[in-house]
Structure formats: C-alpha cells, structure tokens
Structure 1
Amino acid sequence: MTDARLAIIVLAAGQGTRMKSSLPKLLHPLAGVPIVSHVLATARALDAAHVITVVRHERDLLAAVVAQDLPESTIIDQDEIPGTGRAVEQAVAALPAGWDGDVLVINGDVPLLNASTLASFIASHRTGAAAGTVLSAYPDDATGYGRIIRSVEGVFDRIVEQKDATDAELAVTEINAGVYLFGLAELRKQLAQLTTANAQGEKYLTDVIELLRRAGSEVSAVPVADAWIVAGINDRAQLGDTAQKLNALIVRGWQLAGVTVQDPATTWIDLKAVLAADVTLLPGTQIEGATVVATGAIVGPDTTLRDCEIGEGARVNRTDATLAVIEAGASVGPFSYLRPNTVLGADGKIGAFVETKNAQIGAGSKVPHLSYVGDATVGVESNIGAGTIFANYDGVAKHHSAIGSHVRTGSHNVFVAPITIGDGAYTGAGTVVRKNVPAGALAINVAPQRNMDGWVETNRAGTAAATAAAASSTTETGE
C-alpha cells in the first residue's frame, strides 16, 4: 500500500570522477543492471507517494534509465550551485503544493541498500521525536566518509565531512551512510539557511543536521547492522568489492532455492537471471542478463550464457552463448560459440569447436565437431559432418541454407548458400555443394583420386620423405 506521507529523493547528480570513465558512474553495470537501477528498485519497493530523482552530469543517459526503471519518478536537473544540499533543495521545491510528510534522501550509488533496512529506518524515525534522522555505520575503513560526531554522553550532534574534519574527528569510526529522513516543514526551513562556506564550496545536506540542533530540534543517528549494506561506490575498486558482495548474496539466494553451485567464488549470476531447482552450475560459470535455466540442466565449467534459454536436462559445457535457445536434453560443447538467434532442438547436439549464428537446428540433429553453421535451418535427426562450413556470405549479402530432416552430410563439406538439401539426402566427404540436392539423393563432386607413382623421389630428391619412400619401395620389391 502506498505510504501517502513519504517522499523519496534519489541523488544522482554526481560526476563520479574517481571512476575515471566516460560512462557516468551510476550507469556502470552491477549484476547486469546499472548501479542506479538497484537504488531505484529499492525506492519502488517502499511505494512512496512521491519519488524525485536529481540528475546533472550526462543527464539524458541517466534520465533514460530512470524513466525506464521508475517511470513514476519526477526528474529534476540540478543547477550550477553544487552540493547535496542544493540538490535536495531543488527536489523539495518540486513536491506538490499542500503535501506534507517525511522526506527520505538516498544516494544513487548505494546499490546494496535494501527496502527492509529502509523500512526499519523509517519506523525508527517515526516512533521517535527527531526532526531529522541519519543512517550511520561502522565500516572497517572510514576513509572518504563524513563522520558522525557525538557528545561525550553519546548524543548525536553533527556530521563532519572528511575534508573539513580535524584529526580527532577523523579518528571517529562511525560514519554517515548518506541516508536521511526529515519532516518536510523542518527540512524546508533549514535548507534555506545553507551556505557554501566550507572546504568544497558546496551546499552540504549534512549541515541541515547541525542547523536543526542549533534550532533546538532533536536529531538522531541510527546505526545499520552491517556496514556493507550502505557501502557506496566511488571508484573501480569499490565497484569490484560491491560486485563480489552482491554476487555472493545472489548465489546464496539461488543455493537456498535448490540450485547447486559447486564453486560460488567463480560463479557469477546476474540479477535478472532465473534458475529452476536442481540446476547445477559448475566452476567458472557466468549467467548473464535475463538467462533462464530449466530444472536438471548442467551448465559449465567455464561457460558464459547471455540472455539465453536453457531447457530441462540440457548440458552446456565450456561454451560462450548469446541470445540462444537450447532445448530440453540438448548438449552443447565443449568450446562451442553460439551467436544470436541460435536454436538447438530437443536432444540435439552442438559439439566441440562449433560456431553457430542465426541457425535453427532441429530436434535430435547434431553438429558434432569443427563446423560453422550460419544463416541456416537444419531439420530433425540430421547429422552435419565434421569440418563443415556453411558459406553464407558472398561479400555483399548473407544467404540462407536449408538442410532437411534425416540428412547425412560428409566431413569437410562446404554449402555455398543459398542452397537447399532435401530430406534424407546424403553428401560425400569433401563435397562443395553449389546446387540444390533433391530429397534422397547423394551429392558428390570430388574428382577421382589420381596417384602419381614416384613423384616424391623425382621432385623432392634428397628429402627425408624421398629416402623413406625409396626404402619402402625396396622392402616391397624384396630387393
């Protein structure tokens, strides 16, 4: 049910320079979705009356993600005045006239922050008498965070940003987690008092806490149970740390749902993936995007699946696949490369060192070894011989090959598209098929073998091959 007295402000205007990237920090992927998408999902789960997202740098890119993930959010562009205080000031001004309630402020770079933690935080604020409440934490390393300053009696007094902190304040291990909850009326009043008189020349939202204290209002700092929940991302190292933590949570969730993960440390699963009970993931497996894996399937080792569908009981071994469908009981690998729009029918096989692209391979059909199958359809129960190439490109356009059902093709064939091979047809080893093959026919165009006796001894005299040939000839004649 919608919390009619709650508004959420998501701060997404930071430049993220420490990422050293042309891509905005909040759009870097984490478990298959942008960092900010995790925060937007949490905001949606709280079902607030109003959500406002503040953007600035690369605003169009960020706004597009916000519009997709949380379309009910109002998007505000931060102006030239820097700082989180200014961002919140602009967001508050965008709230509907006449609305009153609590304003929750969260940063867009805290992807592990969950709705359960925030719900408890909101409840703590509402059951107390504080005009403003801050979420705090005790991380192993407080570097980079604002410090929670308390009196000798332990009463929360203010927040000091690291660049403005004294040595004594830097020694404090309780940090500001960047999550705030204020009553709207008090927040509006104190935002109007903010200045840029600090080391950064910014309007700090943290100064609102001290202003509330000076005005005689009560403020509160509520520690979170686990510091990792509020870990922010400012650089690639923190992105890597957060990715590992999030992946461990995702993997454990699937383990508890009945998925066997042999080596959690080397198995990566994206947030949108769906795995059935009794799936087995072997070491080195990456399940990316919206991949779906049905019950009984075994994936890995050393396999990457991107937006694939894996059928019940299928086996995928040492394979890289994108936008592919592998139906029930089928087998793929090892060392297979499945490109988009590959479909392998039930109980079919794509074997070692096979590449496929835009290929529909029917139930029970097999491409066992060393082949390229592109822009093709293969019927049911056909066998494509080793070393077969579907020559689909003429230098200008791609062409289609249609292979029927119950076809048997010889090793080292080339199918020059466009080509059709009818049901039940055979092709001989080494055949280059340039014309359609009727159903039930045998196609063969290899020239008769011609043996030129004595050629090596005549044309390669003095070589080891010539010596061996001469010795063999002597043995055969009995001389």
Structure 2
Amino acid sequence: MLDIVVLAAGKGTRMRSDLPKVLHPVGGRSLVQHVIDSARALGSDRILLVVGHGADQVEAQVAADDIRCVAQTEQLGTGHAVLQALPHFRDDATVLVLYGDVPLTRPETLQQLVEAVSDDTMGLLTVDLPKPDGYGRIVRDSDGQVEAIVEHKDATDEQRRITEINTGILAAKAGHLQKWLPSLSNDNAQGEYYLTDIIAMARRDGLSIHVAQPAAPQEVEGINNRQQQAALERYYQRCQADALMVEGVTLLDPARFDCRGRLTAGRDVVIDVNCLFEGEVMLEDGVTLEPNCYLKDCVIGAGTVIKANSVIEGAQVASRCAIGPFARLRPGTQLADGARVGNFVEIKKACIGEGSKVNHLSYIGDSKVGKQVNVGAGTITCNYDGVNKFVTEIGDNVFVGSNTALVAPVKLGQNVTVGAGSVITRDIADDELAVGRGRQRNIQGWQRPVKKAP
C-alpha cells in the first residue's frame, strides 16, 4: 500500500509570476502534473497534495478522484508541510514524499526507494553535485552509513565540503512518520521544521537508510526561476529526441525539436528543425516533415510529406499525401490517400477525396470533396451566413476554376466543370459546365483619370 505526498504549497517568488510555481510548464505539462503522473505510474491510489499559495488554481487543474488536497496555511518548512498530510496516512502504508516543483524524477528511480522500505529501513534519494552550495549535505558515519542531513546554513566548513546532497525525496513507513513528524523542532538557522531531521531520528531508532541515486542529476532538479525552467525544458526535450532516434526516427537537429504531448512515430520518419508537437500525434512510416511545422492531435499516414511552415490540428491524413508549404489543416479535416493541399490553403471540417488537389490560396470548409477533384487557386466555400454553417458537396472528377466562390448549401455532381471567376449558388448536375459571372464589357475610348494639379 503506497501513499504519496506531493508538496506544492510554495509561492515561487523568483518566478515573478501570478501563476503558482507548480503550474508552470515543462514539456507542455505543469510541473506538478509531471509529478502526479510519476506517482500514478507507481500504482498509488492515494496522492496527497499539500497546497498553499494559489491553492484554488492548483486544485482546479489537478482535480481527480485519486488526489486529496491538504491545506498548509503557513509555510513553515518541509516537515511542517508533510505534517499537514499526516492524518490522511493509512497506518500500514509506505509513504513517499515528492515535490511539486521537481518534475522529471523517473518512476524507475522512485521505485527503488519504495521497494527498500520496511519496518527497519527507510529510503532516501541523494545525488552528487560538483557545486553543492545551498543544499543539505549527507553526513555519513565511519562505516559509510547515513546518520544525518545537515542544511547548508547549519553546516560546518568541513560538512560543506561534502558533495553528496539531499534531494528531499524519501520514503518511510507511515507508522514511523506518525512518530517522528510531531517531534520536529524549528531550532535552526531558518526557523523552519525540516523534514530532513527525521533521518537522525530514524538512526536513533535503529533504522538503516537505504540510499538511491538518479541516473541523471536533472531528475532531481527543482525549478525556482525562469532560467532553471528553460534549462530543464531543453533537457526534457533532448531526452524525448534521443528516445525517438533510438526508435529509428531521423531528427536533422535534435537540439531544435519540441514535443509538448505524446509523439508516436513509425520507421524512417524524418523531422527537420523547429517542428513542434502537442497533444497526441502519430506519424506513420516514411512521413517527412520539413522545417517549422506545428502538429497537434493528428494522425499522419505513411509516406506523407508535410512541407515547411504548415499547421495541422485535429486532422486525419491518409497515406502519400502532400501538404504545404504554408498550409493549415484545422480540426475535422480528413485527407484520403494521395490528396494534395498546397501553399496558403486552409481546410476546416472537410473531407478531401483520394487524389484530389487544392493547391493554391484557397479555403475549403464544411465540405465533402470527392475523388480526383481539382480545385483552382483562390477558390472558397462560403459556408457561413453569420449565424449558421452549411455544407458544400463536390462529386468525383470535378474541376473548379480559379477565383470561384461556392455558396453553401450547394452540391456539384460528378464530372462538373466550373468556369473561373464564378459565383455558384445553385446545384450543378453531373457532367455540366457552370459559369456564374457577370458579362464582360470592353469600352472603347476610355479616358483614364489623371491627377489634378494642386
């Protein structure tokens, strides 16, 4: 049985923001959401979130059946924060303490601590840093066993030379914490109740301290300012980039890759620089993305090429399509196999049939477009009357001339041809030619206006 406490009450003054620190993002998720996701990965069904500054905002964002929020009305230290959660511990549980501003600790690292906990052992996560200034030092006895943690401000000069530092992440039996936490004192340089003081209490009571360390120090880095947030963002993105490359994805520059959701990619996918992914994105085998593309909540079929500076959101794209450059696919768009959407084309809530082309400077919205249709440059579907949306239906093998307005609701049958510059307001039957434009007049002897002298 595992109870997890997440400390998320701090204001984060150095962030210089009205947003509570733990709600600032890394990789498109708030810091505290990363921590909650790791807690859930450990299989815990009780997550106790200690909130204080901006409690209403924090609670609203993380609300879930497995989360209980506990108020810390005064921020009197980490020991005091965990003490607020004490009444919610199950007597026979193992308790793991995490921090809402330390987002990237892997579940595998935390599992080491949880598995080490027994009636005779507690777990402590430490890390070695070349410059440990400001951190609590791990003090060991002559046998190398942890006997205490000394905060930097309370440490002697000799203790400050220790490079192994406390991360604050620890695990212990609930029964032990119920004994130790009420005994904490604030007799220290900070005047706070340090959670770290329970290490000395554990040793006094004959417990051993099982020490684990993360695979990388960034796993236990907290965020206190914008610089640290930016540094951890780049580390997070590089980890995602490395994982994709292990799976066979080509990233032309891994340092210029950003995923703020979940990206699934097949074999032989190529992603050029400055592409951004949000939500749930799937790239099937052989997809190519040129530079500066934005994809959100979409599926891209095998062999599709997305050219530079294109935006795709909420769309389903089949295989062997060509999109862009400078194309925008909005939510509800569906492209069938081999469809082409070219430069400065916007598609919204429309189905584009197999092999059909909308290549230039067009808007197609609320439409059903058949197979092998060619839509000329400057074509728009007039789908909105200011109040309601209407559908345009275009049959197979239709040719729509350039600079055409299709005023919905309207239906074009199969093999229809629409003359360039037409405004189409009525249905067109199969195989018909439709021309809907004013008659041209050529006026001889026309005198072009000239500027009058001032």
Matched, 1:292 2:288: no
User: Greater Rg, structure 1 or structure 2?
Assistant: 1
What does residue range 154-173 of structure 1 map to in structure 2 within 5 Å?
156-162=146-152, 172-173=162-163
Distance 1:329 1:222, change over 3 A: closer
Q: Distance in 2 between matches of 1:355 and 1:370?
A: 8
**Matched position secondary structure for 1:374:** strand
Could you list the runs of 5+ residues in structure 2 that have no partner in the other structure?
none
Q: Distance in 1 between matches of 2:85 and 2:266?
A: 43
Match of 2:32 among 29, 32, 36: 36
Q: Distance in 1 between matches of 2:166 and 2:241?
A: 29
What does residue range 54-65 of structure 1 map to in structure 2 within 5 Å?
54-65=50-61
Report the equivalent of 1:437: 428
- Of 356-365 and 195-204, the range deviating more from structure 2: 195-204
RMSD: 3.0
In the alignment, residue 18 of structure 2 is paired with which amino acid? S
**Matched position secondary structure for 2:311:** strand
Structure 1 residue 140, shift from structure 2 partner: 5.0
Matched, 1:190 2:180: yes
Distance 1:220 1:274, change over 3 A: closer
**Matched position secondary structure for 2:218:** helix
How many residues align structurally? 451
Matched, 1:304 2:294: yes
Structure 1 residue 339, shift from structure 2 partner: 1.6
Deviations 1:398-455 (A, max 9, x none): 3332222221111111223333222221111111223333332222133343333453
Deviations 1:7-42 (A, max 9, x none): 322222323333233333323333233322322222
In the alignment, residue 82 of structure 1 is paired with which amino acid? L
Q: Distance in 2 between matches of 1:247 and 1:284?
A: 12
What does residue range 80-479 of structure 1 map to in structure 2 within 5 Å?
80=74, 82-96=76-90, 99-123=91-115, 130=121, 132-139=122-129, 141-150=131-140, 156-162=146-152, 172-198=162-188, 200-213=190-203, 219=209, 222-318=212-308, 319-455=310-446, 459-460=449-450
Distance 1:422 1:86, change over 3 A: same
Q: Distance in 2 between matches of 1:352 and 1:333?
A: 5
Q: Distance in 2 between matches of 1:230 and 1:81?
A: 22
Distance 1:58 1:297, change over 3 A: same
Match of 1:27 among 23, 27, 38: 23
Structure 1 residue 173, shift from structure 2 partner: 3.4
In the alignment, residue 380 of structure 1 is paired with which amino acid? K
CA contact (8 A) 2:45 2:66 kept: no
Structure 1 residue 78, shift from structure 2 partner: 3.0
In the alignment, residue 438 of structure 1 is paired with which amino acid? A
Q: Distance in 1 between matches of 2:5 and 2:45?
A: 11
In the alignment, residue 59 of structure 2 is paired with which amino acid? A
Structure 1 residue 123, shift from structure 2 partner: 4.5
Q: Distance in 2 between matches of 1:301 and 1:144?
A: 42
What fraction of aligned residue pairs are identical, expressed as a percent?
A: 39
CA contact (8 A) 2:392 2:410 kept: yes
Q: Distance in 2 between matches of 1:383 and 1:151?
A: 80
Structure 1 residue 460, shift from structure 2 partner: 4.8
Q: Distance in 1 between matches of 2:60 and 2:247?
A: 34
Structure 1 residue 308, shift from structure 2 partner: 0.9
Structure 1 residue 461, shift from structure 2 partner: 9.6
Q: Distance in 2 between matches of 1:111 and 1:459?
A: 70
Structure 1 residue 283, shift from structure 2 partner: 2.0
CA contact (8 A) 1:422 1:440 kept: yes
Deviations 1:259-297 (A, max 9, x none): 222221112234422222222222222222111111122
CA contact (8 A) 2:261 2:277 kept: no
CA contact (8 A) 1:324 1:339 kept: yes
CA contact (8 A) 1:410 1:428 kept: yes
CA contact (8 A) 2:94 2:117 kept: no
Structure 1 residue 73, shift from structure 2 partner: 4.0
Q: Distance in 2 between matches of 1:303 and 1:19?
A: 30
**Matched position secondary structure for 1:21:** coil
CA contact (8 A) 2:137 2:151 kept: yes
In the alignment, residue 446 of structure 1 is paired with which amino acid? R
**Matched position secondary structure for 1:176:** strand
Report the equivalent of 1:472: none
Q: Distance in 2 between matches of 1:269 and 1:176?
A: 31
**Matched position secondary structure for 1:350:** strand
Could you list the runs of 5+ residues in structure 1 that have no partner in the other structure?
463-479
CA contact (8 A) 1:55 1:76 kept: yes
**Matched position secondary structure for 1:117:** helix
Structure 1 residue 223, shift from structure 2 partner: 4.2
CA contact (8 A) 2:126 2:164 kept: yes
Match of 1:72 among 56, 59, 66: 66
Distance 1:101 1:392, change over 3 A: closer
Q: Distance in 1 between matches of 2:151 and 2:201?
A: 15
CA contact (8 A) 1:139 1:228 kept: no
CA contact (8 A) 1:353 1:370 kept: yes
CA contact (8 A) 1:417 1:434 kept: yes
Taking structure 1 as the reference length, the TM-score comes to 0.84
CA contact (8 A) 1:32 1:272 kept: no
**Matched position secondary structure for 2:167:** strand
Structure 1 residue 250, shift from structure 2 partner: 1.4
CA contact (8 A) 1:284 1:300 kept: no
CA contact (8 A) 1:315 1:330 kept: yes
